[in-house]
Amino acid sequence: MPDEHDVLQRQKGVTYRQADDDYFQQRQLKRVAGVWALWALGVGAVISGDFFGWNFGLAEGGFGGLLVATLVITVMYVGLCYSIAEMAPALPHTGGAYSFGRSAMGPWGGFITGLGENMEYILTPAVIVVGISGYMDAISADLFGFSMPLWGWWLIFYGIFVGLNIMGAEISFKFAITITFVALGILAIFYVAAIPNFSWSNLTNIAPESGGSKWFPFGWAGVFPALPFAIWFYLAIEELPLASEESFDPKRDMPKGILLGMLTLTVTAFLTLFLNTGVAGAEETGNSLEPLFIGFQAIFGGVGASILALIAVAGLVASFHTIIYAYGRNIYSLSRAGYLPHWLSPTHGERKTPTVALLVGAVIGFGAALIIDRVGGNVGAALLNMAVFGAVISYAMQMFAFIRLRQKLPNIARPYLSPLGIGGAAVAAVIAIVSLVSLFFNDDYRPGVVGALVWFALGLLYFAVAGRNRLVLSPEEEFALTRGERGHPELGDFGGTSVTAGVTAPTTTPMATPSGGDGAPPSDANPPAPRG
């Protein structure tokens, strides 16, 4: 553990400290994921958006408003995914978004990017578990006449799936593949069954307000507040880079996993939007905690719908499980580098999973849901807006990082190049900022956004007071300081960089482990020029 007397270098407002010899040995990960595991991680993380969350956009903008919002958000995610598909194999670190921001914009830029993602990934499982509890309570009441407080369901599902993630990355990825295919299968059953029951009139059954129309019952202004809910069709596809140090070949597989995942989710997003609404009705769907369940009820009715909806919980479970994975790696990477307290990042000696990070993230997410529930209001929608708040900040920062990396580090190896380039990243950044602004225009959800602002402010305050003085040279930091010369876990080329009196130079043999998960320390000084 870095100590006060271990200061190596102070520069640009941060301090790097020497880690003990066993610091990174206690923070190892294990490479277990191929391209299909990465695809399942991305699709599984998002697939719950087709089961729950998106539908609140109908109540905000009507079908036409949500449709336009979904088209706009799809453009944003296409730009985002192509940009990330370029950055992830070039900077193959567990830090993901934080790593991109760190190399492009320095420690503060890296932390702001990582903190936005931290908020997104801790709060998104809380949103999803609210959806799971809605489904499970409705199903148990329908089949068995049994009901329980929703927080009881939250506790049960957090316990199960945090435990599963602690058991090991290999088990987690195998489960992710299985449950993702099950969730897609349930959606396929629904789509096929919904087609003969589809009615165009159901899409427009919300009574228009003055100046509105049947397609846009709240006018074109309804598009704006619908944007955060359209994001739910894609939110968390960008988590794949967090698996870089657990991927067998991140340079080859990461772009494939991201882009195949985006294609899959685009198809399911528009099928869900049209068919679920067209079967159950826009007004009914927009106010439901279990939109797919009422869709099944409209088609099958009775016990058949409840059984199918019970199976449909698989979609929510897929995302719940995979985003628990994501917040664990996000907390782990920020802690490993010293941005968050170091005690959050040790991994299990045999399973190589960040146990403490997984448990702490669960406690925070559960606590946030419980507080909002006690205060009153729509827990799911409020948490969703808080998660989106963190996400869109992270998206904008990642797009700024993409543009800056093209300019600042033009000579680093880029196994994949985005065909959309800087223009695609700029468009995605603009849409992300507009989406962020949209969060402040709904009075019902504003308390949740204020809570997100408090979260963000506390994180920045911690880094300003403590975190910035406790940094160590994780692979993300080493890559940034050497401008890509070192800090490559996938090659075993990390560690061995030393900073003495402002001089950066390799001094020891780079640290390589069979599990491929770490790098050794040091500091921010005068980096060598890039090869080239």
DSSP-derived secondary structure for 372-440: HHHH-S-HHHHHHHHHHHHHHHHHHHHHHHHHHHHHH-TTS--SS--TTHHHHHHHHHHHHHHHHHHGG
pLDDT at 299: 87
User: pLDDT tens across 230-257, in order?
Assistant: 998 999 999 999 999 999 999 999 999 9
* Cβ(455)–Cβ(120) below 8 Å: no
What span, in angstroms and rounded, lies between the C-alpha atoms of 172 and 178? 10
- Measure the CA angle with vertex 339, ends 388 and 511; round to 5°: 115
- The token duo for 164 is 């599963």
Q: Is the dihedral of CA 58, 63, 67, 69 positive or negative?
A: negative
DSSP-derived secondary structure for 175-222: HHHHHHHHHHHHHHHHHHHHGGG--HHHHT-SPP-TT--SSSTT-GGG
HSE-up (13 A, CA, CB side) for residue 250 = 28
* 304-308 contact pairs (CB < 8 A, 24+): 306/139, 306/142, 306/143, 307/143, 308/186, 308/189, 308/190
User: pLDDT tens across 123-136, in order?
Assistant: 989 888 887 888 78
Lowest mean per-residue pLDDT among 47-51, 229-233, 300-304: 300-304
Please tell me which residue, 519 or 489, carries the higher pLDDT value. 489
pLDDT at 532: 30
- The token duo for 515 is 């599990």
- In the block, which residue shows the tokens 């998002």? 46
Q: Is the pLDDT of residue 496 over 80?
A: no
What span, in angstroms and rounded, lies between the C-alpha atoms of 329 and 242? 6
DSSP 8-class letter at 371:
H
Please tell me which residue, 441 or 405, carries the higher pLDDT value. 405
- In this prediction, residues 170-191 reach a mean pLDDT of 92
If pLDDT is split at 50, 70 and 90, which confidence band does 294 have? confident
